Amino acid sequence: MRVVALEEHFAVPDLVHRIDPNAISRRGFRSRKPPAGGPNAFELLPEIGERRLQSMDEAGITVQVLSNSGPGPDLVPGPDGVGIARAMNDHLATAIARHPERFTGFAVLPMQSADAAIAEFVRAVRDLRFVGALINGTTEGRFLDHPSYDGLLAAAVELDVPIYVHPHLAPEPVRNAYFADLPPGASRVLESAGWGWHSETAIQILRLVLSGALDRHPRLKLIIGHMGEMLPMMLARADEMFALEIEHLQRPVGRTILDQVWLTTSGMFSEPPFITALLTFGIDRVMFSVDYPYSSNAKGRAFLDRLPLAPADMKKFSHGNADALLKLNEWK
């Protein structure tokens, strides 16, 4: 069975070293404990070759859609940020060219320079043949509904590729208000993978709806991970609560999200949230992902194998929806 995984990550340490350590610290990056057993994700991130391919083969994963992880050009203003984004995308394109049947990519963008971000998005799709862009959370506290990013959203529509809206660490005022004054490990996880990442990404999508950005760009395609970042269980509630307050919108909140958002399962391998996502969004909008190397390919495949989906639905979930959305060649 062909299997496409959409939220799979890499890093380029030499390029990360070009970013001001103070900017990295201010953004909230902190050291993380490596797992007691098994491989360290931070050691696996830079490798886009035989070790990664072996792990994919052992789990029966046909294609990874790769995206930059960790500190990136969104932390760097001006020409330096543009140069880092360009270099990261060129690095990924070179890796893809070595194994074009196994890898493709989402662009990383210099989000502090809105016009340059558009130009790099266009280059990455048209010249490097990437299948979209992945944007990590807020930039300098600005969500994607900020007017400075309207041209970027329009570019995604013109290029006819999706934007993957990925979590990021909270801006410093939010971090201090919501996640401080706990034991360090607990604080870090609450802010990130344990809760905060997911709620912030849901807010990002809701802001795109409520600001009218998705009405202005009704053909914009968005992807979010982690079984929908809490939105599937909250969509009916949001519709009910916003119903009397959104006369400026063309569609109900839920309808807009169901029209323009796709979900992946990245990093979440239990049935209850999958069932909720499936019942809310439908089989045509849910796609498999692992979140490698932060989650293991083997664990993701085990989850895939135990899902009681009909063959036609399994085909959509494992690769068909991704093939259609990203216009991937359907290798047999």
Q: Give the model's pLDDT for residue 31.
A: 76
Residue 207, strand partner residues: none
pLDDT score recorded for residue 96? 98
Q: What is the pLDDT of residue 260?
A: 98
The pLDDT value recorded for residue 30 is 84
Give the CA-trace dihedral at 305, 328, 129, 65, to 10 degrees. Answer: -10
Q: What is the pLDDT of residue 265?
A: 98
C-alpha closest to that of 238 among 246, 226, 250: 246
d(CA 292, CA 8): 5
Would you say the pTM of this structure is higher than 0.75? yes
Tokens for 278, please give them. 């499936």
What is the pLDDT tens value at each position of the chain, 332 positions in all?
999 999 999 999 999 999 999 999 999 998 777 777 767 999 999 999 999 999 999 999 999 999 999 999 999 999 999 999 999 999 999 999 999 999 999 999 999 999 999 999 999 999 999 999 999 999 999 999 999 999 999 999 999 999 999 999 999 999 999 999 999 899 999 999 999 999 999 999 999 999 999 999 999 999 999 999 999 999 999 999 999 888 999 999 999 999 999 999 999 999 999 999 999 999 999 999 999 999 999 999 999 999 999 999 999 999 999 999 999 974 43
pLDDT at 193: 94
Task: Please give the pLDDT value at position 329.
Answer: 79
DSSP-H helix ranges across 71-195: 78-98, 114-126, 150-159, 172-174, 184-191
Element (H, E) at 65: strand 63-68
pLDDT for 59 equals 98
Q: Measure the CA–CA gap between 194 and 187, rounded to whole angstroms.
A: 10
- Could you tell me the CA-to-CA distances from 211 to 152, 164, 231 in Å, in that order? 16, 19, 17
Give φ, ψ of 177 to 5 degrees.
-80, -40
4 three-state secondary structure: strand
